[in-house]
Amino acid sequence: MILLINPKTTKSKEVQTQYFREPNLGLLYLAAILDQFSFYVDILDLEQFAYLENFDLESLIKTKIEPYSIFGLTSLTNNYALTEEIIQIIKSLKPHSKIILGGPHVSFLCEEILRKNYSIDYICVGESENSFPLLISLLKKELNNEISNVNFESQINQIKGIAYRVKDNDVKFTGYPDPTNIDDLPLPARYKLEQENYFYRVANVIINRGCPNQCSFCSRQNLFRKPRIRSIKSILSEIEDILSLQNYEYINFYDNININSRFFKEFCEMFINNKINIPWGCELRVDSITSDEAKLLKKSGCKLVATGIESANVEVLRRNFKFQDPKRVQQGIIHLKEEHIPIQAYFVLGLPGESEESVSETIEYIKSIPFESDDQINFFAATPYPGSRLWKKSNEFGIKIKENDFSKYDCEHVIFATDNLTKPQLDHLFQLVKRIEMEINTQPNVSQI
């Protein structure tokens, strides 16, 4: 009855390797919930097919969609055009099917999208673990002619988190959904992933939703409006489930495992006390990592720490609500390197307040950090994703968006000019830091650069 579709999200360097990661966790959760409701649901993950020889999107979809009448798709900003292409293929083959979208991009642009694309029937805004199954139940009644149009509209308006068209091309939004209790969620339905072309070796596990920080370039705080941390019991249950599948070699934990110091300690001790020996990596803020915490990470089996440093310029950080001290970041990295924990450090070029001087400051800062051959840095272009402060308050940040092609909203293209730098200047600086990134990532010792 229901097919959940994950569009391709560009993993050409990862496919069929030890780094190939699972698809969108949101779909895996929704599949598990629909299973609990005894709905017939499957997942089509286009990542599993996109790099096969002679891959043809339309032919693949045609062979996969026949048993289904309702289709749910998730969409990021840079793959929204692909999502629309998939929808058009489905509607051309099954014109009476129902199309439901979810994900950050469509959540923040739901009214605009519904007014432009009549092939999309509903959008689940924000967290949809509660709204989506209720909508499916209602659509099932409609498809079976068990409900009148009047009762349908009355009942859909009682489901928070749904956007849909009404007469005169108007769009109705039923209001933001209540935050999901993430400890009540079933385990993600990894068993629903097709065994054909099953390349996945890295499992993704969320440990929290929402974020107390207010970084200008991030939309998480608006998508998940209340920060929540999962219980250790819930996380341990998922780890045990992953281990039982016997095909995973690594686990990535998202997002920011030291958002709470007590949780951080309990999280690390979970691995030690339960003798979990699968390699794992995580994201965290290094500006608060102590020597003892670095030792605990090492003892618990952490193999990689990813962290957002963004810039070494204090004013750039402050202007973009990234409140961290570069000196404390440096000290935290030193603690991690004393325990020989590899680091993946993220930097953002072109944020409001950026200048040629601040870019040079960041480059020199990188050279002062004791990065080693097993570490990696990545520069990303500042991107005003819908829902972020950069998108919603571009005038206040002094930026002028120059690129409206959402497929380029991938952190690899310069999207706007700032009050300090033109787009050509930012393009030049981005090419410069990407060259430096490549040099640093291929050198045994960053300080030699």
Give the domain ranges of the chain.
2-173, 201-448
pLDDT band at 447 (very low <50, low <70, confident <90, very high): very low
pLDDT for res 444: 60
Identify the architecture of domain 201-448 in CATH.
Answer: Alpha-Beta Horseshoe (3.80)
- On the question of pLDDT at 84 being above 50, the answer is yes
Span 431-447, mean pLDDT? 83
pLDDT for res 448: 45
Span 177-183, mean pLDDT? 94
pLDDT band at 200 (very low <50, low <70, confident <90, very high): confident
- On the question of pLDDT at 446 being above 80, the answer is no
pLDDT for res 197: 78
Span 277-286, mean pLDDT? 96
Tokens matching residue 443: 């050198």
- On the question of pLDDT at 193 being above 80, the answer is yes
- On the question of pLDDT at 233 being above 60, the answer is yes
pLDDT band at 230 (very low <50, low <70, confident <90, very high): very high
Cross-strand pairs, 171: 165
pLDDT for res 449: 45
pLDDT for res 48: 84
Give the burial class of 431: count Cβ atoms within 10 A of its Cβ; 0-12 exposed, 13-18 middle, 19 or more buried. Answer: exposed
In Å, how far are 59, 100, 243, 251, 406 from 84, measured between CA atoms? Answer: 16, 12, 36, 31, 12
Tokens matching residue 49: 């097919």
Rounded distance between C-alpha atoms, residue 38 and residue 40, angstroms: 6
Averaged pLDDT score across all residues of the chain: 93
Q: Which fold has domain 2-173?
A: Rossmann fold (3.40.50)
Share of the chain above pLDDT 70, in %: 96
Which pairing describes strands 41-45 and 70-74: parallel, antiparallel, or unpaired? Answer: unpaired
Digit-coded pLDDT (tens) for 321-340: 999 999 999 999 999 999 99
- On the question of pLDDT at 13 being above 80, the answer is no
Residue type, 41: V
- On the question of pLDDT at 10 being above 60, the answer is no
- On the question of pLDDT at 14 being above 90, the answer is no
Digit-coded pLDDT (tens) for 24-41: 799 999 999 999 999 999
Span 273-287, mean pLDDT? 96
Digit-coded pLDDT (tens) for 89-142: 999 999 999 999 999 999 999 999 999 999 999 999 999 999 999 999 999 999
pLDDT for res 272: 98
Span 63-83, mean pLDDT? 95
Span 255-265, mean pLDDT? 94
pLDDT for res 9: 64
